[in-house]
Every structure is written in structure tokens, then in C-alpha cells.
Structure 1
Amino acid sequence: MTATRPSFLVRHADIIFSLKTFLAAVMTLLFALAMDLPRPYWALATVYIASQPLAGATRSKAFFRVAGTLIGACASVVLVPNLVNSPELLSLGLALWVGLCLYISLLDKTPRGYMFMLAGYTAALIGFPSVSEPSLIFDTAVSRSEEIILGILCASIVSTIVLPRSVGPAVSAQVDSWLARARKVSQQVLAGHGTDQATRELRLKLAADIVDLDMLSYHLAYDRNVSRDTPRWLRALRLRMLTLLPLLSSIADRLAALGEDARTSQPKLMALVDDLSRWIGSGMERDPADELRATISAQLPVLHGGSSWNEIMIVSLLMRMRELVDISQDCRALSQAIARGGRPDGARLMFRPEAGVAPVRHVDHGMALWSAGGAILAILMCCAFWILTGWADGASAPMMAAVGCSFFAQMDDPSVGLRNFAKWTLVSMIIVALYLFAILPGISNVEVLLVALAPPFLLFGLLIARPSTFFIGMILAANTASLMALQATYSADFASFANGGLTFFVGTEISTITILLARSVGAEWSVRRLMRKGWTALAFAAESRGNRDRAAFAGLMLNRIGLLAPRLAAMPDSKLSQIDSLRELRVGLNIVDLRRARHHLSPATLAAIDAMLDELAADFRRYEGGAMPGALLTRIDHALAEAMTETRDDARGDALIGLVGIRRGLFPDAAAYRPEHLSNAGSVAA
């Protein structure tokens, strides 16, 4: 019995979540009615908004929802009484508050951003309906806070006590799935298929999955069933996952550069490649890994001034293969540690990344400001309609504008989300109308009421439990609970219900049109913007001195690639989908490595490398896609020629590896480097 219970919980997780959420909703409604709270339906809606299938996720969202509600309530108490006599100023004040909070939330890519977004539209939900009775704003804000906190407490208690589902196993399962696909990609790369379009697309999908794993990992701190060390091992694993993708791209490039005849010209090297592929597929045990490292070290040729291009490429490939062994072994040990909540097996981790680097994520101040401006404009347009028409129930229009524009601000085209929001709210209104005017009038006690509410709300819980229908379920549950407006006594009025519904759709339609005209962009526009940000980052990396910033650069670039991947998948026929973003990441990492190696180089080599990097930075600042200028290739080859004359083995090796990586990344189809080609050319003009 004990052995089958976990599989039962996993197999029926959706049903269990739905039952638990309805139980929390029943508790909330009964407590709210017993406490004589003025709007118990707010508490009921909060349960479905705050509840998540994972216990840690419910607690983290609950915490941020409480904080956001209190901040928004305070803002409404400050704004409404002071500006109620100037409707235009009050509308502007609330709109600016929503815009400011939305701007901050879009800059914060963690679940904490939800707190700021909620603080914005909570002020609108409290403030706009209170315009007719500003003297009651404090009582309204307090009751709103009480009802939301009650809903959050009930949701958190039930999620924690009743068959809790920990975040830890979900993270572990996602990690295992990612690593399984990464092993498949690694074997495809080592088999010589790394440049195939299918392999490139799979690498992009892995980058996008890291972004999803980031969001899930934030909830670990709120899960009491997770070991204290698990977040630490997950951070270590994430850094290796980030490093693995450009590493595989680099190995694929080196194998492609050696060509198909490498099987006959370099039999030992290719036998080692096959051994590495078999080891990755067989489970990555420690003893074969040590043997692979020893074989790699034995095959490494020593670079010198007369080394051929082929020897340089072999050294680069072997060094990347050694990193692949270290990272693969560490990933296996760390994933096992996360799964069991202990320490990794073995004496120590093998891959030594830069220490002390916090995760770096893409932040777009321009888009955040644009989205906030669109929300402000939509709210003001709804307010203008409300004021000019004198519609008594017109407060619902700017309220819905604030909520809708906040929810869908991260979409390339928020108007699509707003349309769907309106569509599913219409479904909610049909359900509510059925209950208000056909079912509820015949109910005389709370027990029968709860039985009557069970069918739709249990269905909503099932929809929320599934990622593909989460959004639909949350809209249906929250809007059905809010629009039904359950009170201690039945007081439904069809005219009021219809009027409120009409106001909602007016607000949503005005918001949709405003956002469509002022804010919506296509996926291709967003892809170009993200790519341009990446090119600017490459220019910045070339201009910087690059001390211990390799991991930070990789994190930023891979986070952008993770944002690119789903957009590129949605537009397979676009020319942009043919651009290899991992190639640019490899170039950036080689730039950072080259900057770090510069302190041990001679003045002549330094001058050549700095001149090359300056030209590379200038080229990427005006880059729009396509081929790089041929003058940059000449600069790179001149820097290679100078680096070949270095007397220190470590300095020469580091410089050559970095320059080779840049050359192969930017000019993969260029002829092989030949130092004698530059022997009579002299110095390249500065």
C-alpha cells in the first residue's frame, strides 16, 4: 500500500488538486460568511487565483499576493480621498500608479514581480468603484485585504496539510528530462550531426527549458519538504546547463571544421570521440570519465609558432571535449543529489566555473516602459468614456483595463490575450446568469449551496491543474466567483447584472483597441529586438576587460536565447530562424576568455588583439545580420599571427583558442588560416 501511494498521487494529481482547491474555497466562503465580511466572493476568487498544484508555489504566490494587496490598498487610500474632487487627476493618478507597478513587475523576472503587478491593479479595483463613496475608501481597502488574506490562508493551509505535492520532485523530474534530451543532443553532436537544423532547434528548446526551470526553482525556498542544500545544488547544476549548450555548439563546429576525412586522417581522435559518445549514453560513470580525461591529455598536441591550423583545431576540440566530460559527470552527480536531497557523490565537482556570479537575466527597460505606457493610455481612455457618458457603473471599464493590460503585458501582442480574456469571461457570465436566475433562488441553506457550486468549480480546478488550460481555468474560476457575488442573502437583479457585464466588455474592448494601436508588436519584431540586444552585448563584451564575467555573459545570452526559442518555433518560415544564436554566444564567450588572457601577452600581441576587438565591437554595433566585413577577418588573422609568436605556452594557448573560436564563429566558411599568407603583409593599419 505504501509503495503504490506516490504513484497514485502523481497519477491523479489533477483530480486531487481540484478537490483540495474546492475544499479551501468552501472553508473560505464559510469563514467569510461567519465573519460577516462585506464581499465574501473576493475571498472565494482569491483561493482559485492563489492556488497552485505545488505546495511551495502556492505559498510563494500567497506571500507575494498578500504583500501586493496591502501595497495596492494603501495606494488607493492615499489617492482617492485626496483627488476625488478632480476626476481627471484621480484617473491620471491611478493610471500612473498601475503603469509604475507594471513597469517594475516587468523588470523583475522572478515570481516577486507578481507582487508589483498586483499592487498596481489592486489600487484600481479598490479605487475606481470607491469614487462615488470616497468616505468609505478605508473600510473598503481593509475589507478587501481581509478577504484576500483569508482566501490565501485557507489555500495555503489546505495545500500544505492535505496531500501536499512538493516542488522538489517536480524540479527533479524536469531536470532529469532536460538532461536526457541534453545527452541525446551530445551524442548527435559527437556523431557529426551538430550542424543539422534539427539538432540546432533542439539546442534552442533546451535553452528555453532552462528559463522554465528557473521559474519553478524560485518556489523551492517556500517548500518545507525540500532539503536546505537543494537550492544550492540546483544553482550549481543550472550554471553547468548554461555552459553545456555553447560547449556543444563549439564541439559541433570543430568537428565540422575537421571535415569528413577526419575518420581516416585522425583515427585516434575520432575513436576518442566515439568513446565519449558511448560514455554519455551509458550513464556517465566516474571511472570511465577518468580514463577519458587521461586519453584526452595524452592526445593533446603542444602548440608552437609553427603549428598548423589543423593542430590548433584539434587542440580546441580536445579541450572542449574535456569540458564536456567534466560537465556531464557533474550534471549526473548534481541531479542525483537534487533527487535525494543529499550531497553529490564523489570527492568534488570537476568543472570549475567562475564563482560568485549571480544569475543574469534579460531585462528590457524599453519594452517595460512601452507596456506600462500602453496600460496607462488604455485606463485613461476607459476613464474618459466613463466620465463623458456619466455611466453609473462605468467604473468597471478602467478596472478591467488595469487587470487585462497587467495580465498580458509580457505578450508580444497583448490584444490577443485581452480577446481571449473577454471570450472566457463571457462564458463565466453565462454560467453566473444560470446560477443567479435559475439555481440560487431555490436554495435556502448553505449546505445545498456548496453542493450546487461543486460541479463548475471542480471543473475549474481541473483546468487550473493542467498547464495547457491553466489560464482558462483561472479566468473562469476568478470571474465566476466575482460576478456571482455571493452574499449572506440573495439579492440578484438582472438589470444590474447585465449593466455590469456590458460595462466590462466596453472596458475590455476599449483596452483591446488601444493596446492594438499603441503597443502590440509581432513575434518577428520581438525576435529582431532580442537579436539586436545580443549583438550589442557582443560589442560591449569586446570593449570590456572581461574579468570573471564569463558565467554572467553566458547567463544573459542564454536567457535571451531561451526567450527567442518559442518565438522562432512559431515562425519556422522566417529567415531569422536560420540565424544561429548559439554561434554568437560562443563568440562572446571567446571574447571574454581572450580579454582575461591578455594580461600574460606581449605588447605586440596585445595591440593586435585590442585592435581586432575594437573593430569587432564597431561592426556589431551596426550589425543587421548577414556576413561580417572581410576586414575583420584580416584583423583576426593578424592577431593569430602575433599570438603564434608568444613564448609562454599558457598565454599562447589561451590566445589561440580564443581567436580560433572567434574566427570560426564569425567566419565558418573562410579558408583555413595560413600564417605565411600574412608574412609579407606587414601590420594591419590601426
Structure 2
Amino acid sequence: MGMFSIATQHVRFAIKLACAIVLALFVGFHFQLETPRWAVLTAAIVAAGPAFAAGGEPWSGAIRYRGMLRIIGTFIGCIAALTIIILMIRAPLLMVLVCCIWAGFCTWVSSLVRVENSYAWGLAGYTALIIVITIQTAPLLTPQFAVERCSEIVIGIVCAIVADLLFSPRSIKQVIDLELDNLLVEQYRLMQLCIQHGDSEQLDAAWGALVRRTAALEGMRGNLLMESSRWSRAGRRLKALNTVSLTLITQACETYIMQNTRPELVNDTWREIFAVPVENAQDVHKQLKRIRRLLVWTGERDTPVTVYSWVAAATRYLLLKRGVVGNTKISAVEEEILQGEVLVRLDSAERHHAMVNFWRTTLSCILGTLFWLWTGWTSGSGAMVMIAVVTSLAMRLPNPRMVAIDFLYGTLAALPLGALFFLVIIPSTQQSMLLLCISLAVLAFFIGIEVQKRQIGSLGALASTINIIVLDNPMTFHFSQFLDSALGQLVGCSLALMVILLVRDNSRTRTGRVLLNQFVFAAVSAMTTNVARRKENHLPALYQQLFLLLNKFPGDVAKFRLALTLIIAHQRLRDAPVPINDDLSAFHRQLRQTADRVIAAGNDDKRRACFTELLEQLDVYQEKLRYWQASPQVTEPVHRLVGMLHKYQHALTTR
């Protein structure tokens, strides 16, 4: 049944893609556009891109969102191109070089912004380059070309959206409802494992899987909000549920860690009640009722603080989950939960990676320019455009080399496919619009099936084939022009791949060290008497950085444990009753400044010196806490944090 459903979805999306391409082709020729190819190409990329990323039919709203990003990126690119041309029209070479730098700048920005918005900046970079290159022979036609380019792209996007709406867009709401139940069950099982103080490797696998599932649920929230405005209430609840789910993970893991030194923390009563197995969300709900009744009898003082916090978070989870499933009006209790804390965003830890991406894009585009000028090849401009497209879109992805190889395979596959259409199919069908549409629909259908399987080269083949076959108005058939265009694409992809291989990305280790130091800064900054600062919720941002660490260093358990322990320290210190006085407040600011210098240090020696200074200040801080008679709720987590920083000093200061 599941395989049949997947096959149905694959066929449905293939039909959707074919419909989008045919609709764009028909509208382009009906309204006598000069280059309907751009509308068709845009419809194909906007529809197929999300399917390739998702590995199947994209959720409802994904195509619309990608279309809006493409419009935004195109308009930014057109404005940038017009500005560059107006300022540098008298120096064509300088104009092209500045445009190469602009493409690199957009890639740099796209590497720092949220992944879902990076597509717009990548487009802004290569759109400007396309316009500047295309108008070299007729610069006075720049405004007209920019308007035509935007119009054709908007038509292609509208066609892709219409096709998506016609063929039953796939809603993600039912998947979210099911995942909320499954996530609750896994949260309870993680707490069971931590209460029983089971195998550490099993624990690592359990909390790592939960972090990934929570991050996936947050991604589903974005898809749900793209789907329709009627899910806005559910979206607010899901945003809060993300924090609640991360809180559950943190409290469970802290329960495990605290038992390493204090095994008596969890008594036999709690071990017995958490030993009951659960199969579904209803079982968890029943267990939580039993636990809450037990809490009434034992009271907060006789309950481990992590267990008490975990039960409170699980109760909030159940309340918000019911609201998401029913999409009901937000109650006063829910509103209090939703507005309880201010979310904080951390600075990106991938600044060095972003700079590598800048140089990769800029150097590859400049190399393409030199190749174009040196050879004088008419399709050198096409090679430059392909370089910009590949580098701009590949840099933000985890494996740019594989993206470049995918485009290279796609351009190779486009040679025979394009030749078949250019030499046989299109000349035979140009007198019949119906036959032309049918031939392109068949091509789109079969490639649409392969795109959903993430077949290497499939997306590149679709875009490259549409780009080299003649879909202009009027149609002309010059084989030399076709061959030049096809070879230009191939050369451009090869040059882009060569630059990606030569300009090595050595930022992985540095990014990991910056991420760990950001966790240290978060733990140190949690020691504050400022009421507004204590209300700031760093947890989603910290776990987002932890998720990045998981992706950068798969299998490095030591790094994950250190990061998780620092997150736990942050949460414990955030809730600790630090004595309020001017002496401690001033020292808190000094600690934050020193921790910030550790992150900003440019070399290992300076970083070690700043870190040593931080450790010395923390020793002084512990003395101050004893002088001001701070409670064990403050002194114990600070002591654990200082001990941890001493133990992992080498890992936190050396690349």
C-alpha cells in the first residue's frame, strides 16, 4: 500500500511538472514573448527543484514559496545589474569583473542567511551576471531586457503554481499530527532511559535522533505556513512546541548526567513509575496523569528538579499538541505559554565557510571571463552564465562538489536529448503547437520521475535541455549555434567544478571550534541578574547550532556530548537564583566580554590566552559566590561548568 502511494505521488508530480512546462510554453508563444524559453525554464526549475530536494512530491506551498524567492532574487539581480551598467558602461571589462564580485557577494550572503532564504540571494547574483553578459552588444537595450526577463520569469512561476494547485497539492498537516504523537512517545522513552541510567551509547543514539526529529518538525512548520494562512494558529503553537521538545531533551539528559555523580538523586519510586513501557501517545498521556498524581503527594521538594521540570514541559506539550491537531482558537493558558519567552538568534558560525564560498564564486566567474576574452568564443558567455549558476546554487548545500558533478552529468545528458529535440522533434512539430507541447510534456514526465528519485544529473539535464533547444520567437535552426550553446554549458560546468576542487574548503574544523565556543558563551552569559536577559530563550538557537555540529561532524560523539553538556549548563544557570547586587552584575559583564573575545580570537595563541583569562575569572567568580552566600543551586552548576571547561580546554581553543 505504501509503495503504491509513493508511485502515485511520483506519477502525479511528473504530470504536474509536464503541465507547468506546457502551460509556460503555450503562454509564452500566445503572448508573443521574444524568448519563451525563460518562462519554460523557470517553470521547470521552480517545480522540479523542491521535488529534487525533498526526494518526492513537494508539500503544498513549497513551490509557491520557491517561486516567490525566485521573483525576489530576480528583481534584486535586475536592480543590481542596472546600477552596475549605469555606473560602468564606459568600462565593459570592469563592469563584468564587478558583476563577478557581486555574484560572489550574493553567495557570501546566501551562506549566512537561513537555508530556506538562501535561494533568493543565489539568484540575485547570477541574474545580474546574465543581464550584463547578454547586453554586451547592445547596452542601450538593458532596461528593456531586464523588464522582459522579469516578465518571463513571473509567467513561468505563475504557471508552476497553477499546475501545483490543479493537481491536488499534498498537505503536510496530517504528517505533523502523526509526528507530534510519535515525538511524544520517543521523548518519554528517552526519559525512561535516563531515569534507568542505561547504556551511554544507546542514550547518544536516542537524543541525537530526537534532536534531528525536532529539527525536522520545525521544518514542517515552515511548510505548513507556506501552505495556507489558515494554519497560522497551528504555526504559533508549533514554534512553541519546538522549544518545549528541546526542553524535554535537555531535562532528560541532565537527569542522566546528574546521576553520574549523584546516583541517589532518583529514588526507586521514580525508577518504578518510569519503567512502565509505552506504545503510543495515549499510553504516555496515562503515564503523565499517574506521575502528576504522584507529584501532588511527594511535592516539589522531594522530586528531582529535572524530573519536575520534565513533567511540566510534557504537560505543556500535550496542551499545545491538542491545539495543533484541532487548529482551535488559542486559549488564555496557551497564550501565556506562547508569549512567555523571547527567542534569541545566535550569530552564524560559518563566516569562514561563507568567505570560501565568496572566493569560489568570484574566482570561477573571473576565470570564465578571462576564458571568454582569451578565446573570443561566441558561447563563452553561455559558459560564464553556467559557472555563475552552478557556483551560486551549489555553495550553500552540504556537498558543493556533488552539485557541480550533478550539473556536469546533466549537461552531458542534455547533448543527445537536446540534439534529438533540435534536429528531429521540434522541426517536425513547429507547425503544430499541440505536437510541440506533447513532445515537451513527455520529456518533462520522464525526467520528473527521475528527479523525485534524486537521480544524479536529472535536474541538470532538464534545465540544460530546455536551455539549448530553440524556444525563441521566431524559431531558427542553426546547428552550429546549438552545438556552441551545448558545449558552452559543458565548459562552464567543468570550470566551476575545477574551481570548487582547487579552492579547498578548510573551514570545517574552524566552524566546529566556533560552535563549541558559542556554547561556552551561552553558558557564561546565562549567569546574569538582568531580568530581561534571563527571560531570553537561547534553547532553539543552541540546538540549531548543535544540529549543524551533528551535520559537520557525523559520528564525533565527544563533541556532541560536550555541546549537550554546555547546553544543559546554560539551562541550569539560567534558572539559578543568582544573588542580585552590583558587584556580581559588573563581574557578569566582564565574563561575557571575555567569552566573546574567545570566539572572536583570530589565532590559537590569542584564543588560549583569552580562554585562560576566562577560567581565572570564573575561579574569582566562584569565590564571589561563596562570599555573597549563594545557594547550592548556583554554586554547584557553576562548579560543574568550570570543571568541564578545564577538562576540555584543548578542544575549545585549538583548531
TM-score surpassing 0.5?
yes
2:434 counterpart residue number: 447
Residue 37 of structure 1 deviates from its aligned partner by 0.9
Relative to structure 2, which stretch is displaced further, 522-531 or 108-117? Answer: 522-531
Residue 119, structure 1, aligned to residue 124, structure 2: yes
Matched position secondary structure for 1:491: coil
The answer to whether the Cα contact below 8 Å between 1:587 and 1:665 also exists between their aligned partners in 2 is no
Relative to structure 2, which stretch is displaced further, 375-384 or 358-367? Answer: 358-367
2:479 counterpart residue number: 494
Letter in 1 for 2:322: Q
Flag the 1:119–1:461 CA change in 2: closer, same or farther, 3 A. Answer: same
Q: How does 1:23-38 map to 2 (within 5 A)?
A: 23-38=19-34
Flag the 1:240–1:419 CA change in 2: closer, same or farther, 3 A. Answer: same
Flag the 1:211–1:424 CA change in 2: closer, same or farther, 3 A. Answer: farther
Residue 521 of structure 1 deviates from its aligned partner by 3.0
Flag the 1:536–1:324 CA change in 2: closer, same or farther, 3 A. Answer: closer
Q: Distance in 2 between matches of 1:632 and 1:359?
A: 26
Residue 33 of structure 1 deviates from its aligned partner by 0.9
Q: Distance in 1 between matches of 2:558 and 2:257?
A: 20
Letter in 2 for 1:335: K
Q: Distance in 2 between matches of 1:411 and 1:105?
A: 10
The answer to whether the Cα contact below 8 Å between 2:22 and 2:441 also exists between their aligned partners in 1 is no
The answer to whether the Cα contact below 8 Å between 1:413 and 1:516 also exists between their aligned partners in 2 is no
Describe the superposition over 1:612-653 as per-residue Cα deviations: whole angstroms up to 9, x where unpaired.
9999889998469x999998997687577557x55xxxxx36
The answer to whether the Cα contact below 8 Å between 2:341 and 2:535 also exists between their aligned partners in 1 is no
Describe the superposition over 1:270-296 as per-residue Cα deviations: whole angstroms up to 9, x where unpaired.
335546989988222463353143245
Q: Distance in 2 between matches of 1:111 and 1:165?
A: 19
2:638 counterpart residue number: 659
TM-score by length of 2: 0.83
Flag the 1:632–1:258 CA change in 2: closer, same or farther, 3 A. Answer: farther
The answer to whether the Cα contact below 8 Å between 1:616 and 1:632 also exists between their aligned partners in 2 is no
Letter in 1 for 2:421: Y
The answer to whether the Cα contact below 8 Å between 1:253 and 1:664 also exists between their aligned partners in 2 is no
The answer to whether the Cα contact below 8 Å between 1:98 and 1:124 also exists between their aligned partners in 2 is yes
Q: Distance in 2 between matches of 1:499 and 1:660?
A: 69
Matched position secondary structure for 2:501: helix
The answer to whether the Cα contact below 8 Å between 1:608 and 1:635 also exists between their aligned partners in 2 is no
The answer to whether the Cα contact below 8 Å between 1:190 and 1:273 also exists between their aligned partners in 2 is yes
Residue 140 of structure 1 deviates from its aligned partner by 2.1
2:53 counterpart residue number: none
Flag the 1:90–1:67 CA change in 2: closer, same or farther, 3 A. Answer: same
The answer to whether the Cα contact below 8 Å between 2:528 and 2:534 also exists between their aligned partners in 1 is no
Residue 284, structure 1, aligned to residue 289, structure 2: no
2:295 counterpart residue number: 293
Residue 40, structure 1, aligned to residue 36, structure 2: yes
Describe the superposition over 1:99-125 as per-residue Cα deviations: whole angstroms up to 9, x where unpaired.
232233333205333222212211112
2:377 counterpart residue number: 391
Pick one of 447, 452, 455 that aligns with 1:460. 447
Letter in 2 for 1:282: D
Residue 589, structure 1, aligned to residue 571, structure 2: yes
Q: How does 1:469-508 map to 2 (within 5 A)?
A: 472-487=457-472, 490-508=475-493
Pick one of 161, 186, 189 that aligns with 1:156. 161
Describe the superposition over 1:367-396 as per-residue Cα deviations: whole angstroms up to 9, x where unpaired.
324422331222112112211222222112
Q: Distance in 2 between matches of 1:397 and 1:546?
A: 57
Residue 663 of structure 1 deviates from its aligned partner by 6.2
Flag the 1:217–1:492 CA change in 2: closer, same or farther, 3 A. Answer: farther
Q: Distance in 2 between matches of 1:630 and 1:139?
A: 63
Q: Distance in 1 between matches of 2:617 and 2:193?
A: 32
1:197 counterpart residue number: 201
Q: Distance in 1 between matches of 2:598 and 2:123?
A: 43
Describe the superposition over 1:420-469 as per-residue Cα deviations: whole angstroms up to 9, x where unpaired.
32122222333222322243333342222232223331133234445x55
Q: Distance in 2 between matches of 1:197 and 1:54?
A: 35
2:516 counterpart residue number: 531
Residue 267 of structure 1 deviates from its aligned partner by 2.9
The answer to whether the Cα contact below 8 Å between 1:357 and 1:552 also exists between their aligned partners in 2 is yes
Letter in 2 for 1:116: W
2:651 counterpart residue number: none
Q: How does 1:322-361 map to 2 (within 5 A)?
A: 322-343=308-329, 354-357=340-343
2:506 counterpart residue number: 521
Flag the 1:60–1:258 CA change in 2: closer, same or farther, 3 A. Answer: same
Letter in 2 for 1:491: T
Describe the superposition over 1:135-181 as per-residue Cα deviations: whole angstroms up to 9, x where unpaired.
33222222211111111111112323431223433444554454444
Number of residue pairs matched by the alignment: 630
Identity of aligned residues (%): 19
Residue 59 of structure 1 deviates from its aligned partner by 1.7
Flag the 1:184–1:38 CA change in 2: closer, same or farther, 3 A. Answer: farther
Residue 355 of structure 1 deviates from its aligned partner by 1.9
Flag the 1:602–1:392 CA change in 2: closer, same or farther, 3 A. Answer: closer
The answer to whether the Cα contact below 8 Å between 1:73 and 1:123 also exists between their aligned partners in 2 is yes
Matched position secondary structure for 1:439: helix
Q: Distance in 2 between matches of 1:370 and 1:579?
A: 29
2:419 counterpart residue number: 433
Q: Distance in 1 between matches of 2:589 and 2:518?
A: 23
Flag the 1:215–1:83 CA change in 2: closer, same or farther, 3 A. Answer: farther
1:90 counterpart residue number: 95
Residue 249, structure 1, aligned to residue 253, structure 2: yes
Flag the 1:656–1:533 CA change in 2: closer, same or farther, 3 A. Answer: closer
Residue 582 of structure 1 deviates from its aligned partner by 0.5
The answer to whether the Cα contact below 8 Å between 2:224 and 2:231 also exists between their aligned partners in 1 is no
Q: Distance in 1 between matches of 2:265 and 2:578?
A: 32
Residue 63, structure 1, aligned to residue 45, structure 2: no
Residue 140, structure 1, aligned to residue 119, structure 2: no
The answer to whether the Cα contact below 8 Å between 1:102 and 1:117 also exists between their aligned partners in 2 is yes
Flag the 1:585–1:296 CA change in 2: closer, same or farther, 3 A. Answer: farther
Residue 249 of structure 1 deviates from its aligned partner by 1.7
Residue 219 of structure 1 deviates from its aligned partner by 3.9
1:270 counterpart residue number: 271
Matched position secondary structure for 2:437: helix
The answer to whether the Cα contact below 8 Å between 1:542 and 1:617 also exists between their aligned partners in 2 is no
Letter in 2 for 1:104: V
Q: Distance in 2 between matches of 1:244 and 1:375?
A: 42
Flag the 1:326–1:591 CA change in 2: closer, same or farther, 3 A. Answer: closer
The answer to whether the Cα contact below 8 Å between 1:612 and 1:639 also exists between their aligned partners in 2 is no
The answer to whether the Cα contact below 8 Å between 1:289 and 1:329 also exists between their aligned partners in 2 is no
Flag the 1:131–1:56 CA change in 2: closer, same or farther, 3 A. Answer: same
Q: Distance in 2 between matches of 1:283 and 1:344?
A: 24
1:561 counterpart residue number: 546
The answer to whether the Cα contact below 8 Å between 2:346 and 2:541 also exists between their aligned partners in 1 is yes
Describe the superposition over 1:469-504 as per-residue Cα deviations: whole angstroms up to 9, x where unpaired.
5x8543332222222232456533332222223222
1:682 counterpart residue number: none
Q: Distance in 1 between matches of 2:75 and 2:585?
A: 57
Q: Distance in 2 between matches of 1:124 and 1:503?
A: 16
Q: Distance in 1 between matches of 2:596 and 2:367?
A: 44
Flag the 1:422–1:374 CA change in 2: closer, same or farther, 3 A. Answer: same
The answer to whether the Cα contact below 8 Å between 1:327 and 1:351 also exists between their aligned partners in 2 is no
Relative to structure 2, which stretch is displaced further, 121-130 or 360-369? Answer: 360-369
Q: Distance in 1 between matches of 2:273 and 2:154?
A: 61
The answer to whether the Cα contact below 8 Å between 1:628 and 1:667 also exists between their aligned partners in 2 is no
Q: Distance in 2 between matches of 1:110 and 1:389?
A: 37
1:232 counterpart residue number: 236
The answer to whether the Cα contact below 8 Å between 2:14 and 2:449 also exists between their aligned partners in 1 is yes
Q: Distance in 1 between matches of 2:290 and 2:538?
A: 32
The answer to whether the Cα contact below 8 Å between 2:527 and 2:588 also exists between their aligned partners in 1 is no
Describe the superposition over 1:307-327 as per-residue Cα deviations: whole angstroms up to 9, x where unpaired.
xxxxxxxx6xx1111111122
Q: Distance in 1 between matches of 2:332 and 2:7?
A: 34
